[in-house]
Amino acid sequence: MSDSARGIVAIVGQGYVGLPLAMAAASSGWKILGIDHSEERILSLNSGKSHIEDVKDTQLQEAIKSGRYIASGDFEQISSADICILCVPTPVDPAGKPDTSYLERAVISVSPHLIGGTLLINESTSYPGTVRELIMPLVDKHRGEGVESLLFSSSPERVDPGNSLWSLKSTPRLVSGIDEESKALVVNFYRSFCDEVILVSSPEVAEMAKLLENTFRQVNIALVNQLLPLSRKLGIDLREVIEAAGSKPYGYMKFFPGAGVGGHCIPVDPLYLLWKARDLGVDLPFVANADQVNAAMPKYVVQRLIDLAKPESGSLIAVLGVSYKPGVSDTRESPAEDVMNELISKGFKPLWSDPLVKSFHDFEQYKGQKVSGAILVTSQAGLPISDLIDSGVKMLDCTGTLKGISLVEQL
C-alpha cells in the first residue's frame, strides 16, 4: 500500500454503484480516483454536481475539497492505485443473455496500467466464475506482465438506490479472493467503511450469492403476480391477503404484485444464473418460469386498463411513474417501458409522466393532453394523479397506493 493506513483506490464506473462507493471510501480516508468514460459526467463530478440521488452535492464537494476525490477519464492514472474496483453495468441483451461487454472493456482498459501488488476487485454483478473465467484471462492477455503479481477479489454490489434504512455502510458486505492475501486485503478495505464484512470461501460463492438474492425476489414476485387473475376471479383483494399472511412472525416474507420487475438486479441477475446453468447443461424451471411470469405482466396490465377504460384505438394513454421504484430517477429495466410498448402494439399512443425523470427513451411526455386512460406503474410524488381523476380519467393502480378512490381500479 502507498500509505500504512490508507492508499489510492481507482473506481472504474461512477454510476449508481461506483459513486456511492467512492464517497464511502473517501470518507474513511482513502484517496479516490473515479474513472469514467463519459467526459460530461467527469466534468459534472469535478464541479461538485452529483447525478446520483444517494450522493448529495455537498458530500461530493467535501470529498473534492479534502483532496480525497477526483474524477478522470485517464486510465493511465490507475498505475498509481493500490486497489482498482470495477463498477460497470452488466445488462442482458435483447435475447436475455448476459452482456458482459462493459465489463470486458473495463478490464481491457485497466489491465496495462495495473502494477504489481494491485488488488483488482469486481463489484459488477455477473455469473459465478466471472473473476477466474473472464477477468483473470483478460488481464493475463492484455497486461504485459501477466497476472502472477496481481491480487483478485469479488465483492458484488448491494446498492439499493433511495433506501434510507439500509445504506452502503450498514448493509453487510460479502467478499472473497482467489488466495489468502487477496482475501485479507479485500476484507481490510471494506471494513474501513462497512459495518459488517462477511468473508466467504471463494469469489464464486460471493458471485452466486448475489444472483440468489435477486432470483429469490424474482421467484416470489412472480408467485404473487401469478395469483392475481385467480384472486380477481375469486373477488379477493390480493394485497389484503399478502398483508394478512405477513402477520405471521416467521416463515413468510411479503412480496407485492405490480406491472413487472425493474432495476438493474431483479430482472437481470436471474438471467445470468439461467445462462450459466444452461451453459453447464442444468435446467432451472422455477427461475425460467418466474422470468416468464413477470415478463408477461405488462401485457396483463394493459389488458386490464383496456377492460376498465375501454379507450378507442389511437387514444392517448398516460403512464405514470416510469422510474423502477419510488423516490429515484433510475429507469433501468423499468416495467413502464414494456407497458408503453404494449400499449403501442395495441394501437394506443402512450405518454409518460415522472417528476424525477428527465427523459424516457423516445416516448412523448404527458403535459396535460386529453387522455382516455391512465396506468400508475410507480408511485412517485408529484404525479398528476388528482388532475387526471378530477377530469374523469379511469386509472389502473399497479401500486396499491390509491385504494378507495373513485375511477381507480386496483391491479
- How many folded domains does the chain comprise? 3
Asked if 265 is an active-site residue, the reply is: yes
Q: Which domain holds residue 398?
A: 296-410
- Give strand ranges (E) for 179-334: 197-199, 316-320
Mean pLDDT score, 76-81: 96
| Torsion sign across C-alpha atoms 359, 360, 363, 367 | negative
Instruction: Please provide residue 66's backbone torsions phi and psi, each rounded to the nearest 5 degrees.
Output: -75, -10
Does any domain span residue 140? yes
Same domain, 329 and 226: no
Same domain, 151 and 253: no
Nearby residues of 322 by Cβ (< 8 Å), 6 or more positions away: 331, 334, 336, 337, 352, 353, 354, 357, 360, 377, 378
Residue 262 has pLDDT above 80, yes or no: yes
Same domain, 33 and 104: yes
Instruction: Give me the pLDDT at residue 1, please.
Output: 40
Nearest to 225 by CA among 257, 193, 261: 257
User: What is the CATH number for 107?
Assistant: 3.40.50.720
Hey, what's the cell of 31? 484517496
The catalytically annotated residue of 84, 87, 194, 265 is 265
Sorting pLDDT into bands at 50, 70 and 90, what band is 163? confident
Residue 97 has pLDDT above 70, yes or no: yes
Same domain, 179 and 324: no
Same domain, 108 and 169: yes
Contacts 24+ apart (CB under 8 A), 403-411: 409/304, 409/308, 410/237, 410/239, 411/228, 411/257, 411/258, 411/259, 411/301, 411/304
Going edge to edge, which strands form the sheet with 349-353? 364-365, 349-353, 316-320, 374-376, 395-397, 408-410
Residue 4 has pLDDT above 60, yes or no: no
pLDDT digits (tens, 9 = 90+) for 218-242: 999 999 999 999 999 999 999 999 9
Does any domain span residue 1? no
Same domain, 227 and 248: yes
pLDDT digits (tens, 9 = 90+) for 178-214: 999 999 999 999 999 999 999 999 999 999 999 999 9
